[in-house]
Structure 1
Amino acid sequence: MTKFLGVVESGRFRILEPKEHCCAVRLTQLIKPKLLDETTIEKHQIDLSKDEGMAMIVEGALGREELWIYEAKVVDRGGPILSEVVRKVFIGE
């Protein structure tokens, strides 16, 4: 499993670190299926609406299509101050 640092934007997890992954993805607890069935994957999606604007560390497996982090587990959530620092350092906002 890989650990990702990012922020929640528009209900998606925007990966900031590691830098080679540049996208905003959704999180699912589901183990990556052999056939991508969006309905099944979405049933296990982690709701990030309460974390909007916050920084967090997520552990999981990023799919090749870079749309989902599978087997996702939120390891830690930053508070308002830490989230602002993460945005300034990594995004420049």
Structure 2
Amino acid sequence: MAAGYPTDKPTVDARMGNSIIALRNQLDDVTRINAWLQGKQDADLVSQGWTSEDVATMKSAFLALAKLSLIANGQSTQAQADDFFFFADRLTGLN
């Protein structure tokens, strides 16, 4: 037996299914967060402690990710390449 995760059919089937469900759930979360953010006035979010720059980044990030969700679900198309994570990367604390 090799080190690491096994690669037998039941294990790979479970990992594939879990990956798909996790991605679907995350895209649903992105859509919900985007709807919430877009429904808020910037001033309301600033009053909760975010800066105006934070709000712009948050709204831009989730708007782009919500578009990615629409594309992934066949509800929209994308004519040209787009880095859907451009603003989202700024929210990860790693950039």
Normalising to structure 1: TM-score of the pair?
0.23
Query: Which structure ranks higher in relative contact order (CA pairs < 8 Å, sequence separation ≥ 6)?
Result: 1
Considering fraction of residues, name the structure with more strand.
1
Normalising to structure 2: TM-score of the pair?
0.23
Higher gyration radius (CA): 2
